[in-house]
Amino acid sequence: MKVQELSGAKIKSLNASLVDMIAKDLMPLSGVDNDGFQKCIKELQLRYKLPSRRTLSCSLLPERYEILRERAQELISEAAYVALTTDLWTSVVQGYLSATVHFIVRGKLFSVILATRKVDNRHTGEKIRRVLSEISSD
């Protein structure tokens, strides 16, 4: 049986699906190196060659991030009103702040995480204001 090569568009689509799976399922990039995962992918799509961790981290993830960021910005610009929520939490040694924007476009509710940033464990009003200001300017 002769196996045809995949088109560039098909490879791009498969790579996007892989990146989405990694992001949505919080998979480590090392998952693409696992023998079982590679075998499963080969069974599903004989002609698809999995990208390396390096390719994922250096090009595919950043490219997908930019596409989704632009899409989110377009949607936010269509919203008449937005609501911003924040969440502060602390691990054993590090504090974090996340900002999420909520809005309605064409009758559909969207919630987009704008960013999660490290903050020191003292969550003062000034530090929170500064981090939120940085996130807003992005």
The answer to whether residue 73 sits within a structural domain is no
Q: Say yes or no: 16 and 54 in one domain.
A: yes
Contact 54, 29 (CB under 8 A): no
Domain boundary among 68, 93, 116: 68
Q: What is the pLDDT of residues 47-100, one digit of tens each?
A: 788 888 899 999 999 999 999 899 999 999 999 999 999 998 888 888 889 999
DSSP state at residue 112: E
Find the domain containing 31 and state its range: 8-68
Contact 124, 106 (CB under 8 A): no
Contact 60, 100 (CB under 8 A): no
* Structural domains in the chain (count): 2
Q: What pTM, to 2 d.p., does this model score? A: 0.67
DSSP characters over 43-112: HH-TTPPPPPHHHIIIIIHHHHHHHHHHHHHHHHHH-S-EEEEEEEEE-SS-EEEEEEEEEEETTEEEEE
